[in-house]
Structure 1
Amino acid sequence: MPVTTFSGLRKSVRLINYTPQTSALIVLFKETGVSAFFKQPLHELFEKSVPLDNFFAYSEISIIEERLDELNNNKKRIAVIEQFLCSKLSHNTTDKLVSEAIASIYLDNGLTQIRELANSLFISQDAFEKRFRKVTGASPKQFSSIVRMKSIINQNASSSTFLDIALENGYYDQSHFNKDFKIFTGQTPTDFFKSASYW
């Protein structure tokens, strides 16, 4: 894996093993924030990780990597990353329609019907999906499935059966739920909720 990498939104687990004496500094963008820094079509990066020099000059990335390596604490490293990203900010206006859609998806815990959401925002479904993908890097359906699974993880699994959780969250049966859950977390629901949390 390259030293500096950009990862698009994911709905499947990705475990990374680090060698001893190494660490990772992760920049987590808000759903509507990443498009202010990258001009490339973000939806093409869904479930993918690519070297950062696909977006910025290799010489710039090399300088940043060297500066980060020379610094002795994370506070200074974060300042370098912030300075670099601020220099790359192409615009800072947010798409209010997409922001409203994201808020609605979170409010519904990812159970939102996309056609109904587009209608409530007075936009055609096709135009809405294109606009949403451009800003977030995922389709509304992909984004909703991530929000739904995160919501399930945040629920107290001990108070319900997994079948109840599946049905309450829009699944028709437990096997489909188990399959999606394992793709998202890398574990079955039983194993996940018994183990220490990485979330």
Structure 2
Amino acid sequence: MTIKKYIPTIELIPFVRSILVINSQEGQINRVLPDTAFAMAFRIRGEVAYIEGTENQLLPSMTISGMRNAFRLIGYAPKTTTIIVLFKQSGISAFYKPEMHELYNHSTSLDTYFAQTDLSILDEQLQSVSDHSRQIKAIEQFLISKLIVRKQDPLVTEAIAKIDQANGHIRIKELIKDLYISQDAFEKRFRKTTGATPKQFSQIIKMQAVISQYQKNPAILDIAFENGFYDQPHFNRTFKTFTGQAPTEFFKTARYW
């Protein structure tokens, strides 16, 4: 399997983090950890499926996925090519007006949110060329045509920055106090923009920090305590939900993106 990362066109940079082209010639199962970004996947050829126990759930050719609180196993059939658009933390809200929290822990066909006629035209464009740069350009033009807002919510942007800076280890009530807004109003606004509650969002950031910090300091329990876990069993349970593996197993063998 090869994964190539591309920087989006300048018009999409405020909303899109990166675009990935995944080619699987032999077929592979990939572990995908929870992230604070929505993703759109455009399958060019082959088959892609979520693997849940002994069952495979085939994904539509164009799929949108929200945030999740647990890992996923994704199976790529031999000779599969997929282009994935990874949005920035609140970037998805620029393209779709209704609240996106309904996609928390879910994936669905892209035609749930966008007109089938537009998607059919895009699919024809993707299938008519074999050059990845031209395929990416077609996807970018589709997204640009769907932009409904061109500025991020400044309050939510500030909240995300504070959560990121604290590696997710932050009290939501203290965060709200600093932003001078009621808890109910803030949580509705945050969830509408990001697709998750502040607590769900912070938990993902916290676990990402744990994994990132391990590369510099292999003392995993020290990292756990520094990130607000008070005992080993609690940390182990949370870690296994997040990655699907115990900490020692994950850091020894895991392949993920």
Name the TM tier (shorter chain): over 0.9
Alignment of 1:22-37 (within 5 A): 22-37=80-95
Q: Select which of 198, 203, 213 maps to 1:155.
A: 213
For residues 22-64 of structure 1, give each alpha carbon's deviation from its aligned partner in whole angstroms, at most 9, with x where no partner exists: 1221111111211010122101111100100001111221221
Q: Which runs of 5+ in 2 are unaligned?
A: 1-58
Does residue 131 of the first structure (1) align with residue 206 of the second (2)?
A: no
Cα distance in structure 1, aligned partners of 2:204 and 2:217 = 22
Identify, as 1 or 2, the structure richer in helix: 1
Q: Which runs of 5+ in 1 are unaligned?
A: none
- Greater relative contact order (Cα < 8 A, sep 6+): 1
The one-letter amino acid paired with 1:65 is D
Partner of 1:92: 150
The one-letter amino acid paired with 1:72 is S
CA RMSD, Structure 1 to Structure 2 (Å): 1.4
Partner of 1:164: 222
Aligned residues: 199
Contact in 2 for aligned 1:8/1:46 (Cα 8 Å): yes
Partner of 1:174: 232
Greater than 4 Å deviation, 4+ residue runs: none
Cα distance in structure 2, aligned partners of 1:61 and 1:158 = 44
Cα distance in structure 2, aligned partners of 1:179 and 1:156 = 17
- Give me the TM-score of the superposition, normalised by structure 2: 0.74
Partner of 1:83: 141
Contact in 2 for aligned 1:162/1:174 (Cα 8 Å): no
Contact in 1 for aligned 2:214/2:220 (Cα 8 Å): no
Partner of 2:123: 65
- Give me the TM-score of the superposition, normalised by structure 1: 0.95
For residues 113-143 of structure 1, give each alpha carbon's deviation from its aligned partner in whole angstroms, at most 9, with x where no partner exists: 1000000011111111111001111111010
Change (3 A) 1:173 1:191: same
State the identity %.
54
Cα distance in structure 1, aligned partners of 2:165 and 2:231 = 24
Does residue 145 of the first structure (1) align with residue 193 of the second (2)?
A: no
Cα distance in structure 2, aligned partners of 1:88 and 1:120 = 34
